[in-house]
A and B are shown apart, each in its own frame.
Chain A
């Protein structure tokens, strides 16, 4: 069964960093574009970033470019999101999602909660 499992979330102070991971299994991870999406408490979905199968194209939402960095390791079936200079407003559940060729995010992880608070 295809599955995505995020990890690495937790409670951090403003200005600190975190590295989120997304472990993929049950499908050919190296052939898919992957995405990160977040959802602040009680708020809507916010797309963060996408990375193509071979990491040749990487996109970010404008407001987070420079602080967040996406990467992947196809040999380890893993996706990563480095979060730097965290702010209170970065508090959210962070999801990784698999993207199909017709642009749907057909597989999502359960999410990992990042809480930024002093």
Chain B
């Protein structure tokens, strides 16, 4: 069981906004960066957000990240069919001296 907790699924219709949460603790999200990845079936993960709220070049500004205390969120606005994928949060854990991934959230665009 992941120490970073994400909802297993989320859904919304095209054009809507969806928020995916990631809950951790003071030893990970509370004190380290959060990164978000998008993974489509059969492909390797792709960075969406790093350093909590930074977008790599090429990632649309429809994707945004935030962090507050021991939780982080990924928001996707103007939802599109191609956003249907699995989304993972990750953070380093200073107590474990290891990296944690959330369990992943499967986003369905209805």
**Chain A interface (Cβ < 8 Å from any Cβ of B):** 35, 37, 44-47, 50, 59-62, 95, 100, 102-106, 108-111
Chain B: number of interface residues, binned into ranges: 20 to 34
Proximity bits, B12-52, A CB within 8 Å = 1, else 0:
00000000000000000000110101010000110100110
Q: A103-B33, A104-B35 are in contact. Are A47 and B47 (CB under 8 A)?
A: no
A106 contacts which of B47, B90, B99 (Cβ < 8 Å)? B47
Whether A47 and B98, one on each chain, are in contact in the complex, defined by CB atoms closer than 8 angstroms, is: yes
**Chain B interface (Cβ < 8 Å from any Cβ of A):** 2, 32-33, 35, 37, 39, 44-45, 47, 50-51, 54, 56, 86, 88, 90, 92, 96-104
Q: Lowest 6 A-B CB distances belong to which pairs?
A: A108-B44, A104-B50, A44-B104, A47-B99, A45-B101, A104-B47
Closest to B8 in A: A44
Whether B92 and A103, one on each chain, are in contact in the complex, defined by CB atoms closer than 8 angstroms, is: yes
Whether B50 and A62, one on each chain, are in contact in the complex, defined by CB atoms closer than 8 angstroms, is: no
Return chain A residues, CB-CB under 8 Å to B100.
47
